[in-house]
Amino acid sequence: MSLNVDSAAVAFTFKGGMLPMTVMELSSADPERIRQQLAGKLSQSPAFFQHTPVVLSVEKLDEPHLALERICAVCRDHKLLPVAVRGGAEPVRQSAWALGLGWFPPVEEGRPRVLESVNSSPMQEVSREEAPISDVDTQALATRLYRGTVRSGQQVSASEGDLVVIGAVNAGAEVLAAGSIHVYGALRGRALAGIHGNTQAGIYCRELEAELLSVAGNYKRSEDIDAQLLGRPTEVHFTKEQLEIKPLG
């Protein structure tokens, strides 16, 4: 008897993914305060509130019991789609599961996230003396070079290093990188650097017209960017707990 599985009978496969996700970091558990602020944000950025999936981060809240169902309802009223909760005590995790949401453990500050293989033990940090390849060499090997225009609806990513785009990034397009992003042209779409939490990553472009800029999950939308920087060579870094956008050079 053959043990081969007929490919036509396979309904799905599991694959690791690298999807950008907006984190809504809650500093208040009051649904009405959240509603008021969302209403103001909606008037400023209506395009953002178009069924955008969000992760609700409750790590800053010191409340074991949250009105999570009401908070989710407020988000949905403003066209945001809660898909998971990050942080919180056991009651919060149980509430998330009861509402059909995922749950993520809190992120430990000051420590980068470490990826683990399904069939191996967690990776250990290696000193520079022990490393067979230097950090610079490793990053160079992982850098992805993309030639051409990244068009609307297209996504280009570098899952382990920097991304270099020899061309433009059109509106509606998206570029992502574990490291830094370099665009040798106009950046009009979305650019997300340091997607695994690397706060040392940056974004560099010849002409800034971006819809969204993000470094290690900290982002600014087009309306938050100083108009004097638009259309100019620009660099973006995460400095003093916020994104710093300044002229390049």
Pair (147, 242) in one structural domain: yes
| 97 in the same domain as 179 | no
Helix (H, G, I), strand (E, B) or coil at 140: helix
| Residue at 131 is within a domain | no
Q: Which of 104, 123, 151 is the last residue of a domain?
A: 104
93 and 171 in a common domain: no
Q: Give the strand pairing for 212-215 and 218-221.
A: antiparallel
**Do 76 and 162 fall within a single domain?**
no
| Domain harbouring 170, CATH code | 2.160.20.70
Per the confidence metrics, is the pTM higher than 0.75?
no
Can you tell me the distance from the alpha carbon of 206 to that of 223, in angstroms, rounded to the nearest whole number?
19
Q: Could you tell me if 151 and 100 lie in one domain?
A: no
Q: In this structure, is residue 99 part of a structural domain? A: yes
Is 164 a member of any domain? Answer: yes
Q: Is residue 237 part of a domain?
A: yes
In a domain, 120, yes or no: no
Residues 235 and 148 in one domain: yes
Q: If phi over 0 gives left and psi between -120 and 50 gives alpha, with beta otherwise, what is residue 75?
A: alpha
Express each pLDDT in 16-64 by its tens digit: 555 667 888 899 999 999 999 998 888 776 766 778 888 999 988 887 7
Q: Which of 68-82, 115-129, 172-186 is predicted least confidently?
A: 115-129
CATH of the domain at 47: 3.30.70.260
**Domain residue limits at 97:** 22-104
- Tell me: do 81 and 163 sit in the same domain: no
> Number of folded domains in the chain?
2
User: Is 54 within the bounds of a domain?
Assistant: yes
105 CB contacts (<8 Å, ≥6 apart)?
86, 87
Residue 131's pLDDT band (boundaries 50, 70, 90)?
very low
Structure tokens at 146: 């993309």
| 146, 195: one domain | yes
Lowest mean pLDDT across 114-118, 149-153, 235-239: 114-118
Boundary-marking domain end, from 104, 127, 151: 104
Running DSSP on this structure, what letter comes out for residue 239? E
**Sequence-distant contacts of 90-95: CB under 8 A, at least 24 apart:** 90/64, 91/64, 91/65, 92/58, 92/64, 92/65, 92/66, 92/68, 95/66, 95/68, 95/69
Are 46 and 96 contained in the same domain?
A: yes
pLDDT above 50 for 124: no
Task: Establish if 67 belongs to a structural domain.
Answer: yes
- For 190-214, how does the pLDDT look when each residue is reduced to its tens digit (9 = 90+)? 999 998 889 999 999 999 999 889 8
In a domain, 12, yes or no: no
Cα angle 94-97-99, degrees, rounded to a multiple of 5: 110
User: What residue ranges in the chain does DSSP mark as E strands?
Assistant: 22-25, 52-57, 80-86, 102-104, 144-147, 155-158, 163-166, 174-177, 181-187, 190-193, 202-208, 212-215, 218-221, 234-239, 242-247
The answer to whether residues 152 and 233 belong to one domain is yes
